[in-house]
Structure formats: C-alpha cells, structure tokens
Amino acid sequence: MEEFSVDDPTRLLEAAADFANYPGVRTDASVKEFLDRFPLPAIINALQTKAEIPRLENTLVACLDRIFKTKYGASLIPHYMVTRLLQESDETTLLAIQLIIDYGIYPLLLKCLVNGNEQVANSSMDAIKTLAAFPHGMEIIFPTNKTEATHLGTVASTCSSLGRVRVMALVVKLFSVSSSVASAVYNANLLGLLESEINNSNDTLVTLSVLELLYELVEIEHGTKFLPRTSFILLLSSIISNSSAESILRSRAMVICGRLLSKDNIFSLVDESCVRNLISAIDGILGSSEGQDVNVCEAAFEALGQIGSSMWGATLLLSSFPTCVKHVIYAAFDRHEHGKQLAAMHALGNIFGETRSENDVMLNDNAEENLRDLIYQIASRSSKMMPSGLFLAVLQQDSEIRLASYRMMTGLVARPWCLMEICSKQDIINIVSDASTETTKIGMEARYNCCLAIHKAFMSSTRLTGDPALAGIASKLQEAVRNGPYLNRRNLETQPAIMTAERF
C-alpha cells in the first residue's frame, strides 16, 4: 500500500470528504480500513499544519467526528491522547505528566479499562503501559497510599469480575515495560491479585483466563525474576493434584509450570521440594485413568520436557522419578495415539539433551543408568526387542514423528550404548544420511543435526572407529556431513533428455 505523505494532502482531502459525506452508517470495519490508509496521527498532523488549504480543516473535522462516533474510533482516544502528550521532549515530560494529573486523565483511563468495551479497554491498557515508562508516570500508577482509589488493588476489589481480569491483564503487561516497573508491581503486591483470583474463583472460565495471564507472565523476562518469590508453583501444584478440578485447568497448570521451570537458572531460585511436589503430581496423573486423556497427557509430557530441558531438571527426573519418565518413553514408541507419541518424543528430545550445550548432555551415573535401563526395558517388552528396532520404527513413520525422532536421537546418541544400537542398523544410517529423506527446511535441518551428532559420537569412539566392519558407516556419515543439510544442488538441476529426431 502506498504510504500517505502529509506534504501532499490531496489524497487525504479527497478520501476524508468521501468518508465524511458517506450517506450510510459508518461501521468499525470501515473506520479501521480508512485509518489503515490514513493513520490518526497523520490526520491530526495535517489538521495542525495544513489548515490554510481550502476545505481541509472543515473536511478533516467532519471526518474525525464520524470516526470518533464509532466504537473503534472512540477506543483510540485514550491511547492517542496520552501517547501524544508523552511524545514530547525530555524537557517537557514533567509538564505532560502534570497535565495528565491536573485534568484527571489517569482515573478516566482506569474507568475505560474496567468499564469500556474490549477495544476501549485495550487502548486504555496501552496508554497506561506507555505512561509507566516514565518515572513520574510510575508515581501515578503506583501510589504509596494503598487505599488510593486509583491503586490497582483497590480498583480490582471494587469492579466486576471482567474488570478484575482486565486489571490483572494490565498488571502482566506492566511487567514487560522494564525491570523497575516489574519491581514496582511486585512491591505493590499486585501479583497477589492473580493468586487470590485463582484461589477463590469458582468460575472455570475466570480461572482459565487468569492462568492464561500467568502463562503470558512466564514468557516475560522480568516475570521470571519475580515469580519464584511467590507461591505460584505451590498453587499450580495444588491445581494439578486436585482430581476434582477441570482437566483443562490441570493441563494448563502443568504447561505453565513447565515453561517457568525451563528458564535459565530457575532451579537456583525455586525450592527443590516445590519442584518435587509438582513432578509427583504429574506422575500421579499419568499413572491414573486421567492419564488416558490425550490432552492431559500431551500437557504433562510438555511440562516434563520443559522441566527436563536443563541438566538439573533432567537429572532430577531420571534419578528420583524414573517411573514418570517411563510413561513418556512408553508413549514415545506407541504409534497408536499420534498426538501423545509426538508430544512424548519432543519431551524426550529435551530430557536426553538435544537442547542443552554439549557439556551438559550427559547426566550423573545414577540418572544415566536409569535411562539406559528404561529404554532397554521398554524395547524388550515390544516386538522390536532392542532399542535399535524402536529407533528404526519411529524413523519410518510420518514426517512429524521423524522430526521428533531426529531430536530424540540427537541427544541420546552421546551415550555409547545408544551409538552402538544405531550403528547396528544400517537402515537407520541410510535414513539419517540421505538428504532426500526430508522435503521441508526444518526436517532437513533436524535430520542433518542428527546425522552430525551420530558422526561426532562415532569419530569420538575408539572402539567403533577401529572396527573395519563399520568403515562403510563411517564413510557414509562423513559424506552426509560434508554435503550439508539440504539436497545437493547437482541433484536438483534439470537433466538433458536425449531423444531421436523426428523424421518426415
């Protein structure tokens, strides 16, 4: 779309005249389409700088009048008003903040937040987030007197359930502004709003909404810094352990815990007993009839995979909760339920070390021994008898399962026993070394990474490199690594066709 230029307001004048004089009712969609072509700041700027152009001022005023009479147009007012004030230079920022105070703009934003429609509430939220980026703006949002009518805790306690969810959504968004704003939110005990709502709400939809906000908070950098200081892990563990809770709540609680515990250095900030209680709760679900629910299982596997993505978490799982990992391994090689199998294999990829640095792949002796025993135990109870048979079987499934298989084997092959199993099946080497096996970029790269890991483990093994019977495997792996992850360009070139000439 051609960008509108204020230096040439002719197109704006024509479009605004058409918009203002349209005989029918203007809808939110038509307003959005117009503002996508001519953004509101550009219209205001043209109104301020080009007033001497005939008909421009009257036309733009009439156009804005129709825009602001729609819900969508009205929703832009709070955000635009505040951001325009705060876009001033540093020298006038204090003046802008003072204008917001003098004219009572912040209470109006809060009113729009809790009582407005969705568009108005979102615009108000964005405006408050913009205000929070300024030190003096933070003083407005976080008053020292907790009984102030504008204190977010007070606002949440005096509005509807929808209003409370919106206030909590604002609290989460404020975490993303800066570390200092996140500290202010924490010190004002505003995270307690989310805890209280989860504890006290009997409404599944409201609780689920708060859990979604908590999920968003986990993904915010500053959120990870403060969440371990709260009782959220215990709170989520209680939801997971509560057999009477809705399965959707238990599933979401597991995923949130997994995401939180996958963050860097998180285990140095949380109490180990809390993590153990959490894993025990997940283990209990997988061992119960509820563990047959596909959605619950997938959430449990995702959580365990996230927990096990760190060396500390993987060691804890395999050393203290081998039966929990056993559920995951069993599902990974059970092709009867595709969704559960896929989630389990990706979880194992994390636990086995595919996402960890090279030095953190291997675990302590106890964890490694349990891992080996679990794989061989499950293989012996299957028709494949050996782990190599299990690996080949999953590599022969559909592209999604193959991709997850590559991830799993990339981490697992660092173990000498696994390398021996892989090299005992020529068909496994053929698949991982063949660039034509995969057709998508992500699949090609996953296959290549797996091939590279096998080659590296092979070359590091004095036992295997000295075996003449395996020389062919070494050569095949080396050539595949040299060719790279993608199809060799030579194989993609059009080949000339030789045909006999037609004769008349």
Residue 256 has pLDDT above 50, yes or no: yes
pLDDT score recorded for residue 60: 86
Which range among 199-203, 255-259, 379-383 has the greatest average pLDDT?
Answer: 255-259
Each residue's pLDDT tens digit, 364-393: 999 999 999 999 999 988 877 899 999 999
Rg of the chain over all Cα atoms, to the nearest angstrom: 30
What span, in angstroms and rounded, lies between the C-alpha atoms of 350 and 110?
A: 43
pLDDT, position 2: 47
pLDDT at 504: 38
Q: Is the pLDDT of residue 502 over 60?
A: no
Rounded percentage of the chain residues whose pLDDT exceeds 70:
89
Selection from 368, 365, 334, 335 nearest residue 351 by Cα = 368
Query: Angle CA(350)–CA(356)–CA(358) in degrees, nearest 5?
Result: 130
- The answer to whether residue 273 scores a pLDDT higher than 50 is yes
**Structure-block tokens of residue 364:** 């302590």
As a whole number, the mean pLDDT across the chain is: 85
Question: What mean pLDDT comes out for the span 198-216?
Answer: 87
Question: Per residue in 116-167, pLDDT tens?
Answer: 878 778 888 888 988 888 888 888 899 888 888 889 999 998 988 899 999 9
Write the CB contacts of 273 (distance below 8 Å, at least 6 apart in sequence): none
Higher pLDDT, 252 or 49: 252
Cα–Cα distance list, 125 to 110, 133, 137, 173, 294 (Å): 8, 13, 14, 8, 37
Two tokens, residue 159: 């509005």
Q: Averaged over 247-269, what is the pLDDT?
A: 87
Q: At which residue do the structure tokens 């810094």 appear? A: 225
Task: Please state, in angstroms and rounded to a whole number, the distance separating the CA atoms of residues 206 and 160.
Answer: 12
255, 299 contact by CB (below 8 A):
yes
H, E, C per residue of 332-354: HCCCCCHHHHHHHHHHHHHHHCC
Exposure string of 55-93, with b = 16+ CB inside 10 Å and e = fewer, is: ebeebbeebbebbeebebbbbbbbbbbbeebbeeeeeeb
| Model pTM score | 0.77
The widest CA-to-CA distance across the chain, in whole angstroms, is: 101
420-455 pLDDT per residue, tens: 999 888 899 999 988 888 888 998 999 999 999 999
pLDDT of amino acid 106: 86
Quick: pLDDT tens for 312-335.
999 999 999 999 999 999 999 988
pLDDT tier at 458, thresholds 50, 70, 90: confident
- Asked whether the predicted pLDDT for residue 413 surpasses 50, the reply is yes
Amino acid 490: pLDDT: 47
- Rounded to an integer, the average pLDDT of 473-488 is 83
**Which tokens go with 321?**
């909760």
